[in-house]
């Protein structure tokens, strides 16, 4: 294990993907048991599917809300929160929509792909937090369906969120990428910013990814185990 000590850094960014929540029992998207192995995103996670059959999309998201609600943050989430508490310059940029970092007490600078726990009415331009399981009511007072405030396939990311993430990665002196397959753009591109700025870079994953070559330290193992080692 390379001797990376969080205490040696002032501005740490944790850049997390679904593997961060795997040990909480939340399925990842790809790989064995992944969500996209069971569900076709074209039917459940894109605007066309929602326009075609909002009830079916909400049924899917209610199942995900119930599943995530039944899970707890894991030791890896708790290490991220503990580092943020000890080193206030620590930021979290996540691709995850599960809200687990927040449930573990961490402040999240950017939820790149939105949140399972926020909904919006595009007609009324309203966005609001909502943690009802199942989500009710499904319709806004205007009569239109509330839409999960999630960045679906073919959606653009919120440029304000991307700006916050870019600023974090431009300023960091340590980037710790955790549990992402690095195949979904533009999110996958962001760690390159920290590399170009000369930050120390760490990739925590069970296996190599297409962007592993970018990282100076490639630590292989479960997120909570590796983070516990780094946090000693
Ligand atoms: N510890 C560390 N890494 C893990 C663990 C674990 N316990 N379990 C799985 N992983 C790794 C896998 O090896 C894989 O590289 O986590 C990664 C999960 O990859 P994906 O399922 O593709 O998740 P992610 O990279 O977050 O997906 C990006 O794709 O579907 C969209 O919007 C969705 O935000 C998501 C985006």
Residue 138 belongs to a domain with what CATH number? 3.30.1600.10
If asked whether residues 32 and 61 sit together in one domain, one would say yes
Q: How far is ligand 1, taken at its centre, from the CA of residue 137, in Å? A: 31
Q: How many domains does the chain contain in total?
A: 2
Average pLDDT over residues 87-109: 97
Q: How far is ligand 1, taken at its centre, from the CA of residue 103, in Å? A: 19
Does ligand 1 have an atom closer than 6 angstroms to the CB of 180?
A: yes
What pLDDT shows up at residue 3?
Answer: 83
If asked whether residues 4 and 78 sit together in one domain, one would say yes
- Exposure string over 209-232, b if 16+ CB within 10 A, otherwise e: bebeebbebbbeebbbebbeebbe
If asked whether residues 81 and 173 sit together in one domain, one would say yes
Distance of alpha carbon 77 from alpha carbon 74, whole angstroms: 5
Q: What are phi and psi of 15, to 5 degrees?
A: -110, 110
Does ligand 1 have an atom closer than 6 angstroms to the CB of 115?
A: no
Q: What is the pLDDT of residues 106-144, one digit of tens each?
A: 999 999 999 999 999 999 999 999 999 999 999 999 999
If asked whether residues 89 and 145 sit together in one domain, one would say no
Q: Is there a catalytic annotation at residue 61? A: no
pTM: 0.97
Q: What is the pLDDT of residues 201-229, one digit of tens each?
A: 999 999 999 999 999 999 999 999 999 99
Q: What is the pLDDT of residues 50-90, one digit of tens each?
A: 999 999 999 999 999 999 999 999 999 999 999 999 999 99
Does ligand 1 have an atom closer than 6 angstroms to the CB of 34?
A: yes
Could you give the percent of the chain with pLDDT greater than 90?
A: 97
What pLDDT shows up at residue 2?
Answer: 56
Average pLDDT along the chain? 97
- Residues spanned by the domain of 45: 27-70+118-150
Q: Give, for ligand 1, the residue of 19, 189, 221 to mutate: max count of ligand atoms closer than 8 Å to Cβ.
A: 19
If asked whether residues 99 and 19 sit together in one domain, one would say yes
Cβ atoms of residues 208 and 180 within 8 Å: no
For the domain that residue 167 is a member of, what is the CATH number?
3.40.50.1220
Q: How far apart are the first and last CA of the chain?
A: 12
What pLDDT shows up at residue 232?
Answer: 87
Q: How far is ligand 1, taken at its centre, from the CA of residue 205, in Å? A: 9
Cβ atoms of residues 195 and 217 within 8 Å: no
What pLDDT shows up at residue 71?
Answer: 98
- Ligand 1 atom closest to the Cα of residue 222 is 1
Strand 174-178, strand 147-150: pairing: unpaired
- Exposure string over 129-168, b if 16+ CB within 10 A, otherwise e: ebeebebeeeebeeeebbbbbbbbeeeebbeebbebbbeb
Average pLDDT over residues 173-186: 97
Q: How far is ligand 1, taken at its centre, from the CA of residue 206, in Å? A: 10
Does ligand 1 have an atom closer than 6 angstroms to the CB of 46?
A: no
DSSP three-state, residue 87: coil
Average pLDDT over residues 181-190: 96
| pLDDT(32) > 70 | yes
If asked whether residues 185 and 210 sit together in one domain, one would say yes
Q: What is the pLDDT of residues 143-164, one digit of tens each?
A: 999 999 999 999 999 999 999 9
Nearest to 95, CA basis, from 34, 185, 204, 201: 185
Does ligand 1 have an atom closer than 6 angstroms to the CB of 31?
A: yes
Distance of alpha carbon 4 from alpha carbon 21, whole angstroms: 22
Does ligand 1 have an atom closer than 6 angstroms to the CB of 221?
A: no
* Active-site choice (113, 159, 213, 217): 113
What pLDDT shows up at residue 1?
Answer: 47
If asked whether residues 138 and 227 sit together in one domain, one would say no
What pLDDT shows up at residue 66?
Answer: 98
Strand 217-220, strand 110-111: pairing: unpaired
């Amino acid at each position: 294990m390379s001797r990376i000590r969080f205490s040696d850094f002032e501005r740490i960014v944790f850049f997390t993907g679904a593997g961060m929540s795997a040990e909480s029992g939340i399925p990842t998207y790809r790989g064995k048991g992944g969500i996209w192995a069971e569900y076709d995103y074209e039917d459940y996670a894109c605007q066309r599917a929602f326009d075609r059959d909002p009830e079916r999309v909400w049924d899917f998201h209610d199942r995900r809300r119930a599943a995530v609600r039944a899970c707890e943050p894991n030791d890896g989430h708790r290490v991220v929160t503990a580092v943020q508490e000890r080193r206030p310059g620590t930021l979290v940029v996540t691709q995850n929509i599960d809200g687990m970092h927040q449930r573990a007490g961490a402040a999240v600078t950017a939820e790149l792909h939105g949140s399972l726990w926020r909904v919006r009415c595009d007609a009324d331009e309203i966005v609001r937090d909502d943690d009802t399981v199942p989500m009710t009511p499904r319709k806004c007072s205007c009569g239109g369906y509330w839409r999960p405030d999630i960045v679906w396939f073919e959606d653009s990311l919120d440029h304000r969120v991307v700006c916050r993430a870019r600023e974090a990665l431009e300023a960091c002196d340590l980037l710790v990428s955790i549990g992402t397959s690095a195949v979904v753009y533009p999110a996958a591109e962001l760690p390159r910013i920290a590399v170009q700025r000369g930050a120390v870079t760490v990739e925590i994953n069970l296996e190599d990814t297409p962007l592993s070559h970018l990282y100076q330290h490639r630590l292989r193992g479960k997120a909570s185990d590796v983070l516990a080692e780094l946090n000693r």
